[in-house]
């Protein structure tokens, strides 16, 4: 069965650079969630989209922005990167704006900021 | 507010049962989840339970839910070395469906 695809899997950037993370949800899933997991931490919710509209916002820095496109894939744009942004970034997909139990996670993008 | 708490470590011997506990605060959560994360890997959905259920069994996994005490547990029968991982409990926020995770319990299975 098709799963959530994230690219790239690994990314190394320097401070003050920008990064773009991509997420391709499971086919037919119209809802995307982004989470950030710091070293030894639990995943923290950043932002979500349902039918291309932002549906919820968590502890996402103003330096980050995201959007969902017409094919339901989503991109997380991160600017002015800081050392503290080094983390594993997960995308999860669901159906119906979170109205079902399903929330399947992608393998994550490991971002290292040096 | 939303908060999910778990104990951080659990060590068991191969073949024993493991019980991982979790408490949550949002009594309106309709779904509660258990995810497994191996080192450097993603989050694997193990099982979930709907809030109107007390128990759910899926092969070696048994989930117990005590809504009154807001307590969730995951029992793994006949624990194997391949079960060594971090296990996250999560509750689902009913507005939009975001997940609130606990800190994770690191399960170590000794042969």
Helices (H), ranges, chain B: none
Mean pLDDT of A42-59: 94
* SS3 label, residue A70: coil
Q: Does A109 touch chain B if contact means CB atoms closer than 8 Å?
A: no
Query: Which tokens is B105 given?
Result: 């319990």
Is A45 close to B42, i.e. CB distance below 8 A?
Answer: no
Q: Which residues of A touch B31 (CB under 8 A)?
A: 101
Query: For testing the chain A interface, which of B39, B47, B50, B96 should be mutated: the one with the most A CBs within 10 Å?
Result: B96
pLDDT per residue as tens digits for the range B12-44:
999 999 999 999 988 777 899 999 999 888 899
The three-point CA angle B3-A54-A76 to 5° equals: 85
State how far the Cα of B82 lies from the Cα of B86, in Å rounded to an integer: 12
Q: What is the pLDDT of residue A101?
A: 75
Structure tokens at A61: 């820095």
Residue A97 sits at the chain B interface (C-beta within 8 Å): yes
Determine, for residues B92 and A103 on separate chains, whether the beta-carbon distance falls below 8 Å: yes
Q: Summarize pLDDT for B73-105 with one digit per residue, the tens.
A: 999 999 999 999 999 999 988 777 899 999 999
Cis peptide before B97 (omega within 30 of 0): no
A100: pLDDT strictly greater than 80: no
Q: Would the pLDDT of A1 be above 70? A: no
Q: Give backbone dihedrals phi and psi of B46, rounded to 5 degrees, phi first.
A: -90, -50
Identify the pLDDT of residue A49: 96
Distance from CA of A27 to the nearest CA of B (A): 18
Beta-strand runs (E) in A1-114: 5-7, 10-13, 19-24, 31-37, 44-50, 53-57, 64-68, 74-78, 87-94, 104-105, 109-113
Interface test with B, best of A98, A106, A108, A111 (most B CBs within 10 A): A98
């Amino acid at each position: 069965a098709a799963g959530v695809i994230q690219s790239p899997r690994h990314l190394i950037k320097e401070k003050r650079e920008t990064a773009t993370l991509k997420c391709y949800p499971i086919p037919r899933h119209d809802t995307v969630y982004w989470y950030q997991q710091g070293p030894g931490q639990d995943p923290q919710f950043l932002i979500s989209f349902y039918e291309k509209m932002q549906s919820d916002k968590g502890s996402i820095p103003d330096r980050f922005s995201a959007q969902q496109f017409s094919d339901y894939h989503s991109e997380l744009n991160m600017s002015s990167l800081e050392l503290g942004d080094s983390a594993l970034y997960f995308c999860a997909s669901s159906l119906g704006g979170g109205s079902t139990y399903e929330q399947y996670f992608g393998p994550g993008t490991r971002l290292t900021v040096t | 507010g939303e908060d999910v708490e778990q104990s951080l470590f659990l060590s068991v011997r191969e073949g024993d049962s493991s019980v991982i506990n979790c408490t949550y605060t949002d009594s309106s959560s309709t779904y509660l989840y258990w995810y497994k994360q191996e080192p450097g890997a993603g989050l694997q959905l193990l099982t979930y339970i709907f809030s109107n259920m007390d128990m759910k069994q899926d092969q070696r996994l048994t989930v117990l839910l005590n809504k009154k005490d807001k307590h969730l547990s995951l029992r793994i029968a006949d624990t194997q070395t391949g079960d060594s991982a971090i296990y996250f409990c999560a509750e689902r926020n009913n507005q939009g469906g975001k997940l609130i995770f606990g800190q994770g319990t690191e399960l170590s299975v000794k042969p």
